[in-house]
Amino acid sequence: LCARCHQAGEQAAVRIDSEVPDIVQSYIDSIHGKGLLESGLVVTATCADCHTAHGEKPPADETSTVHHDNIAATCGTCHLGIARAFAQSIHT
């Protein structure tokens, strides 16, 4: 759904402070994209599950769902119990 407008070259291909040149390809290459497109896993995360729909903020914004300090909580909405494991890992 998001790719219709947000793929490179389309009208809404605007990135907010992003170093990713093609956000749609980035999703396709991700574990969630592969789950959906290669394995048919329809319960996998899509763009709006992590980045919100049209309310996204740059990762540097402390209130962003993808800010470093919020990643465990964002992922934890689907991956129950991940917050503790993430907090104790090298990722913090």
92 residues of the chain, pLDDT tens digit each = 788 887 777 777 666 556 666 778 888 999 999 999 999 988 899 988 998 888 878 889 999 999 989 988 898 889 887 777 877 887 66
With respect to residue 19, please indicate whether it lies within any of the assigned structural domains.
yes
Is residue 52 a part of any domain in this protein? no
Note whether 65 and 34 are same-domain residues. Answer: no
Instruction: Provide the CA 32 distance to its chain's centre, in angstroms.
Output: 9
**Residue where the block lists tokens 């969630």:** 32
Question: What is the number of structural domains in the chain?
Answer: 2
Domain identity same for 43 and 2: yes
Q: In this structure, are 40 and 63 located in the same domain?
A: no
In a domain, 75, yes or no: yes
d(CA 40, CA 61): 33
1 and 40 housed in the same domain: yes
**Where in the sequence is the domain holding 77, given as residue range(s)?**
57-92
CA dist list (Å): 68 to 23, 39, 54, 60, 86: 19, 29, 20, 8, 11
Provide the pLDDT for residue 19: 67
Same domain, 41 and 74: no
Residue 15 is predicted with a pLDDT of 61
> What is the length of the chain?
92
For residue 84, the model assigns a pLDDT of 77
pTM value is 0.72
Same domain for 3 and 35?
Answer: yes
The amino acid at residue 77 is T
